[in-house]
């Protein structure tokens, strides 16, 4: 029983990091109403940014957030402004421009292959890492310290984003645009500026997730593909555009992956995750917290 509780705790910790990864994706979808297929690659960029920030400066892995978050926000802001915005202007009468999916898929391949060209196919891990292999013992249970830090970072980030959307003028402008961009434009809101900011926030969130992963996970050019699939599953489970849904969906996946191998093979745990994904699509396509009328 103690082992199950230990697995459950570690599953919740890892699941919160999954939720943090999916949070950026659900923010971008909630505002722009498009799926960003390059999200996994943006997570990979965030991991490389964190890796090199720590390696070159000797910073504590989590202090790298000071460098990574602004860089990733700027990267996402410029990506939206230069690559995605022209599509929205060309298809301004379309609520969900499907061309964006094709373009972000292209960005995905460009980023993955560019990182392969620049950094090679090697798996990289932090050498000067004070969190490497550290465990916290509580009543005979071993809890991963890096994942515990990741859990705290995920909760803090989700809370900060929720506060920003609910309490700030720009946050309210973003929510207004996500509901009806034409009405928001009539009220004087610059929808394209809102899109740039929302995309930047979603990308910066992927950067935070990258920082939380680097202390205990290898960095390599295609690492984003693995997490990309999980992000889509989590977003569908939690509900498109829902912050709470992304976090809960991540925890559900984390629990299945952590507890499942104690009773079955790892292959079956993956099958359960995909089966749950399909079940939610059949029974409640809007997800746990998604709004049926909006999606």
From first CA to last CA, the distance across the chain in angstroms is 41
Q: What is the pLDDT of residue 295?
A: 42
- Strands of 139-285, DSSP E: 141-144
Q: Which of 295, 228, 237 is nearest to 43 (CA)?
A: 228
Residues 252-275: tens digit of each pLDDT: 999 998 988 878 777 788 888 888
Q: Which of 110, 126, 127 is nearest to 118 (CA)?
A: 110
CA torsion through residues 241, 295, 43, 237, sign? positive
Rounded Cα–Cα distance for residues 148 and 136 (Å):
9
Q: What is the pLDDT of residue 96?
A: 63
Q: What is the pLDDT of residue 151?
A: 95
Residues 87-141: tens digit of each pLDDT: 888 777 666 667 888 899 999 999 999 999 999 999 998 887 888 778 888 877 8
Do 72 and 203 touch, CB atoms closer than 8 A?
Answer: yes
Do 36 and 80 touch, CB atoms closer than 8 A?
Answer: no
Q: What is the pLDDT of residue 28?
A: 87
Contacts of 149 (CB under 8 A, 6+ apart): 62, 131, 212, 215
Neighbouring CB atoms inside 10 A of 105's CB total 15
Rounded Cα–Cα distance for residues 24 and 69 (Å):
12
Contacts of 279 (CB under 8 A, 6+ apart): none
Which phi and psi angles does 240 have, rounded to 5°? Answer: -60, 125
Do 149 and 15 touch, CB atoms closer than 8 A?
Answer: no
Half-sphere exposure of 180 (CA within 13 A, CB side): 6
**Domains of the chain with CATH codes:** 2-283 (1.10.3470)
Rounded Cα–Cα distance for residues 295 and 287 (Å):
10
pLDDT tens, residue order, the chain (295 aa): 677 888 899 999 999 999 999 999 998 888 877 788 899 999 999 999 999 999 998 888 899 999 999 999 999 999 999 998 888 887 776 666 678 888 999 999 999 999 999 999 999 988 878 887 788 888 778 888 999 999 999 999 999 999 999 889 998 998 888 887 788 887 888 888 999 999 999 999 999 999 999 999 999 999 998 888 889 899 888 887 788 889 999 999 999 989 888 787 777 888 888 888 888 888 887 777 766 544 4
3-class DSSP assignment, residue 291? coil
Which phi and psi angles does 238 have, rounded to 5°? Answer: -80, -30
């Amino acid at each position: 029983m103690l082992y199950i509780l230990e697995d459950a705790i570690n599953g919740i910790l890892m699941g919160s990091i999954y939720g943090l990864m999916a949070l950026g994706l659900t923010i971008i979808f909630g505002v722009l109403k498009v799926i960003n297929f390059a999200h996994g690659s943006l997570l990979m960029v965030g991991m490389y940014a964190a890796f090199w920030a720590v390696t070159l400066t000797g910073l504590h892995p989590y202090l790298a957030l000071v460098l990574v978050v602004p860089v990733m926000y700027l990267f996402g802001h410029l990506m939206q402004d230069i690559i995605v915005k022209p599509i929205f202007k060309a298809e301004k009468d379309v609520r969900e421009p499907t061309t964006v999916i094709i373009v972000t898929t292209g960005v995905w391949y460009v980023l993955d292959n560019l990182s392969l060209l620049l950094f090679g196919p090697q798996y990289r891990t932090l050498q000067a890492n004070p969190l490497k292999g550290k465990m916290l013992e509580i009543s005979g249970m071993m809890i991963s310290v890096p994942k515990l830090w990741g859990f705290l970072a995920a909760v803090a980030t989700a809370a900060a984003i929720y506060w920003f959307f609910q309490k700030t003028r720009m946050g309210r402008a973003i929510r207004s645009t996500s509901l009806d961009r034409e009405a928001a434009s009539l009220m004087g809101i610059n929808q394209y500026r809102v899109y740039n900011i929302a995309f930047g926030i979603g990308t910066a969130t992927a950067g935070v997730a990258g920082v939380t992963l680097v202390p205990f996970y290898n960095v390599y050019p295609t690492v984003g593909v693995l997490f990309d699939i999980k992000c889509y599953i989590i977003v569908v489970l939690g509900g498109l555009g829902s912050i709470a849904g992304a976090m809960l969906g991540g925890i559900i996946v984390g629990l299945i992956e952590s507890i499942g191998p104690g009773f079955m093979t790892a292959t079956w745990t993956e099958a359960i995750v995909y089966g749950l994904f399909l079940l939610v699509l059949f029974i409640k396509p809007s997800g746990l917290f998604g709004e049926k009328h909006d999606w």
